[in-house]
Amino acid sequence: MTKRQERAERLMRAAIIAVVRAPRRDLAVPLSQALVAGGVIAVEITTTTPDALNAIRDVRAALGEAVMVGVGTVLENITCRGALDAGAEFVVSPILRGSMVPLCHAAEVPVMLGSYTPTEAQLAYEAGADFVKLFPADGLGPGFIKALRAPLPHLRLVPTGGVDLGNAADFLAAGCSALGVGSSLVSSEILKNQDWPELTRRAAAFMAAVRSVRP
């Protein structure tokens, strides 16, 4: 198994990928520590976070192998290269930017490309994406996942946008490989108040939902 395959397998085992849009770089380490304390070990730091690439470096230095830190909202190849240089262990784009695939694979890093329709999802797969990010997923739902996987069972689907405690288990039961969870986990209020105990509590609640489907 290659390093990229190992990382992809770890993401699927992690099940919950915390999508972090922090207002400041210095919050990246404590919020990641709070997530890991609750059992969420995959952290996607989006490029909308100020100094996001150095935030990735900070988290890797502080938490080491306890966390799997990646980069999200990657729109251009130059940003992708910078994130890989910063040590990102997975790369997520909300769009179907196939040219990122060889960059990530050369670095042994799994990449997730965005899609919304069955055609886009298949094209992301054919471009070499390790995962297909379904975004925004709030208008799709678990039923869409079941319908999509019937003719396209080879797709590793990761819905993002609209995933919460009320539907997380249903998404996983429908066949998703993992879930991207943003504001329903790492809310703006938690970040504003730096309420790390609440973040740990929410992380633990999401992991309990995972265990209800994946004992």
Query: Active-site residue numbers?
Result: 44, 133
What are residue 134's phi and psi, to 5 degrees? -90, 115
Q: Residue 205: exposed, middle, or buried by beta-carbon count in 10 A (0-12, 13-18, 19+)?
A: middle
Place of tokens 């609209």: 162
Write out the two tokens for 34: 């709070």
Write out the two tokens for 122: 């298949």
Look at residues 20, 22, 6 and name the one whose alpha carbon lies nearest to residue 65.
6
Check if the beta carbon of residue 155 is closer than 8 Å to that of residue 125. yes
Check if the beta carbon of residue 125 is closer than 8 Å to that of residue 99. no
